[in-house]
A and B are shown apart, each in its own frame.
Chain A
Amino acid sequence: MSTTQSVNESIGKGYAALGRLGQKRIISIGALVAVLAAFSVIVAVQHGFTLFLQRIFDGLSNGFIYAAMAMALVLIYKATTVVNFAQGEMAMFGTFIAYVFGHSLGIPTPLAIILAMLASALGAAGIERVLIRPFDPRNHLAVTIVTLGLFLILNSLAGVIWAYDNRAFPSPFPGRNRSFSVFGANLEWANLFTWLTVLAAVLLVSLLLSRTKIGLAFRSVSNSLESSELLGIHIGRTLQFGWALAAAVGTLAGTMIARTTLLEPNFMGRVLIYSFAAATLGGLDSLGGAVVAGIVIGLVQTMSGGYIGFIGSDLAPTVALVVIVGVLLVRPSGLFGSKRVERV
Chain B
Amino acid sequence: MALVTLKQGTPAHRAYVVGAWALAAIVLIYVIFAYRWGFAPGSIDKAFRLTQINDVICYAVAILGLNLVIGFSGQLSLGHSAFVGLGAYTTIILVADHHWSYLATVPVSAALCFVIGLVVGLPALRIRGLYLAVVTLSVAYVFPTLVVKYDSLTGGPNGKKPARDTGKMNPPSWMPFSNAGRLASPLWVYCILVVIATALFLLVRNFMKSRPGRALLAVRDNQTSAAVSGINLPLYKALTFGASAAIGGIAGSMLMINRPFASDVQFGLPLAIFLVVGLVAGGAGTISGAIPGALIYVFVPYFMSAWTTDQRGMPPGIKQVTKPLFDWLQGRQGAGSIAGVFFGVGLLIFVFVLPGGFIDGIRRLRSKVVQVIPNPSWLRELHGSANPPSTSHSPSSGGDVTQAAPVVATVRSRVAKPVSVKKAINLRGKTT
* Tally of A-B Cβ pairs under 8 angstroms: 142
Residue of chain A at shortest CB distance from B276: A148
A209: Cβ under 8 A from any B Cβ: no
Contacts A314-B148, A342-B432; A160 near B127 (Cβ below 8 A): no
| Total B residues in contact with A, Cβ cutoff 8 Å | 51
A268: Cβ under 8 A from any B Cβ: no
Which label, helix, strand, loop or mixed, suits the secondary structure of the A interface? helix
**Chain A 126-156 near chain B by CB (<8 Å), digits 1 or 0:** 0000010011000001101110111111111
B277: Cβ under 8 A from any A Cβ: yes
- Contact present for A145 and B138 (CB under 8 Å): no
- Contact present for A148 and B277 (CB under 8 Å): yes
- Looking at the assembled complex, report how far the CB atom of B218 sits from the nearest CB atom of chain A, in whole angstroms: 12
- Contact present for A276 and B137 (CB under 8 Å): yes
- Contact present for B142 and A317 (CB under 8 Å): yes
| Total A residues in contact with B, Cβ cutoff 8 Å | 54
Complex formed: what's the CA distance from A154 to B138 in Å? 22
Complex formed: what's the CA distance from A135 to B146 in Å? 39
- Contact present for A284 and B130 (CB under 8 Å): yes
- Looking at the assembled complex, report how far the CB atom of A312 sits from the nearest CB atom of chain B, in whole angstroms: 8
Contacts A160-B334, A317-B142, A318-B142; A149 near B128 (Cβ below 8 A): no
Query: Which of B269, B329, B351 is A269 in contact with, Cβ under 8 Å?
Result: B269
B261: Cβ under 8 A from any A Cβ: no
Complex formed: what's the CA distance from A277 to B136 in Å? 11
Residue of chain B at shortest CB distance from A161: B334
- Contact present for B131 and A333 (CB under 8 Å): yes
A324: Cβ under 8 A from any B Cβ: yes
- Contact present for B341 and A157 (CB under 8 Å): yes
- Contact present for A156 and B347 (CB under 8 Å): no
A14: Cβ under 8 A from any B Cβ: no
**Chain B 345-378 near chain A by CB (<8 Å), digits 1 or 0:** 1011011100100000000000000000000000
B313: Cβ under 8 A from any A Cβ: no
- Contact present for A321 and B130 (CB under 8 Å): no
Complex formed: what's the CA distance from A259 to B137 in Å? 27
Complex formed: what's the CA distance from A263 to B273 in Å? 23
Complex formed: what's the CA distance from A160 to B326 in Å? 12
**Chain B 194-212 near chain A by CB (<8 Å), digits 1 or 0:** 0000000000000000000
Query: Which of A142, A154, A165 is B351 in contact with, Cβ under 8 Å?
Result: A142
Chain A residues near B138 (CB, 8 Å)? Answer: 273, 276-277, 321, 324-325
- Looking at the assembled complex, report how far the CB atom of B35 sits from the nearest CB atom of chain A, in whole angstroms: 32
B414: Cβ under 8 A from any A Cβ: no
A-B contact pairs, 29 of them (CB 8 A): A81-B130, A83-B134, A141-B284, A145-B351, A148-B273, A148-B347, A149-B344, A152-B340, A152-B341, A152-B344, A153-B344, A156-B338, A156-B343, A159-B336, A159-B340, A160-B332, A161-B334, A164-B334, A273-B138, A273-B141, A314-B145, A314-B148, A314-B149, A315-B145, A318-B145, A318-B146, A328-B127, A328-B135, A341-B432
Q: Give A residues with C-beta under 8 Å from B.
A: 77, 81-83, 85, 131, 134-135, 141-142, 144-146, 148-157, 159-165, 265, 269, 273, 276-277, 279-280, 284, 314-315, 317-318, 321, 324-325, 328-329, 332-334, 341-344
